[in-house]
Amino acid sequence: MVRRYFGTDGIRGRTNESPMTAEIAMRVGQAAGAHFVRGEHRHRVVIGKDTRLSGYMMESALVAGFTSVGMDVVLLGPMPTPAVAMLTRSMRADLGVMISASHNMFADNGIKLFGPDGYKLSDADEIAIEGLLDAPVSLAAPAEIGRARRVEDARGRYVHAVKSSFPEHLRLEGLRIVVDCANGAAYEVAPLALWELGADVISMGVSPNGININDKCGSTDTRALQDKVRDTRADIGIALDGDADRLIVVDNLGRVVDGDQLMALIASGAHRRGQLRGGGLVATVMSNLGLERFLQGQGLSLHRTKVGDRYVVEAMRAEGFNVGGEQSGHIIMSDHATTGDGLVAALQVLAELVESGKPASDLLHLFDPLPQLLKNVRFAGGEPLKDEKVQAAIADAEAQLEGTGRLVIRKSGTEPLIRVMAEGEDSKLVEAMVDQICDAVRKAA
């Protein structure tokens, strides 16, 4: 079945343009509600959101959809995506919804769905919901219409859960930490959790106004965080994205540390303590070859999946791994969470920092990444990757690599972009190959 609405991470798009309209959001609520109404119990859905202006509109539309088919709604307000996953499971809800476009700018929004187990929906569930979106709706009888209520202590519940992932014998006293919350969903919970664990916290990106989410801040733009870490002589900087499911770190020298280095640290630490399962970790095809070589040197493996943290989680569950993630900073530790959690991942990094006694600049750079370059080409429609000249450019690049590097070309699942990535021993060759393929894609598009 060709997907009309769902991409690699739920439904996403520009607000007030299909599929991100109030009308479609209401229909998603009705379709998802109908799909998950099973049995005679009173059904419940948990809804959280980030801080973008359109969240109010989308939240109201989803409430209308769910209640119209007889589901009760629990509203969390602005909360991280992993908090919605956690509370869906702990509140014994039938479904969880996060209204967020993650790291995108405020004009976009999205709908992410979680099952009663707190995991993102499977492809089968998403296809089933798509099939119901344009079907006639079976509305609840007047006396069976759902009710909606807000939970006031949701932030406290999540902070408590996050802190429980941090080793009990450790504290963050003596550490000066700069945290950039991207003016997003974690603007209250992240600084609070770090402060309660004893850190000297310097907060950034904690004044959301509906339109400044991810705007020159957070994990996708760390320049201000790097400056603040240097200016305040902080021990480390933590950057979250708009819905706080990804993490990028800045060391004490102001250098950016990506998800590959963080996964290497977390996995090797867990392996040293005898807590790593699966004999390695799970990452996507975008992770650097340097990570794979580092793990091999530790006697560990790297299991690769296609791009998308949901596919990482699926592989972790199927193969018995407990650490996985993406270079972009989605890091999943299944002992503590069912999805990527930037704050939980940050606490694991901080625990390693405290125990090692080393400066972050020494601790967080475990391998030298191979030269890697990613460029995006926007396209309006069609299938540019099927163009003969594009395929010829790709074949030529693969021949030039001769097994010494990798090439990953794919269509984005969240934006109208073709992503072209290459890595290898020679940085000039990598750049030339990427530019050659991008030029071919532009002409085809």
DSSP string, 197-215: TT-EEEEES----SS-TTS
Q: Using alpha carbons, select from 401, 392, 398, 422 the residue that is nearest to residue 410.
A: 422
Domain count, the chain: 4
Regions of the chain with pLDDT less than 70: 1-2
Length of the chain: 445
* CA pair distance 175, 322, nearest whole angstrom: 28
> Does residue 129 fall inside a structural domain?
yes
Q: Which of 121, 152, 183 is the last residue of a domain?
A: 152
Backbone CA torsion sign across 378, 380, 386, 387: negative
> Does residue 366 fall inside a structural domain?
no
Q: Any idea what the CATH number is for the domain that residue 201 is in? A: 3.40.120.10
| Residue 62 belongs to domain spanning | 6-152
Residues 214 and 122 in one domain: no
pLDDT of residue 64: 98
pLDDT of residue 2: 62
Mean pLDDT of the chain: 95
List active site positions.
102
Residues 301 and 422 in one domain: no
The pLDDT tens digits of the residues spanning 126-178 come to: 999 999 998 998 999 999 999 999 999 999 999 999 999 999 999 999 999 99
| CB neighbour burial string for 163-201, b if at least 16 within 10 angstroms, e if fewer | bebbeeeeebeebbbbbbbbbbbbbbbbbbbbbebebbb
Residues 18 and 137 in one domain: yes
Q: Which of 106, 126, 152 is the last residue of a domain?
A: 152
Residues 131 and 197 in one domain: no
pLDDT of residue 93: 97
pLDDT of residue 218: 97
Q: Which of 122, 152, 182 is the last residue of a domain?
A: 152
pLDDT of residue 1: 52
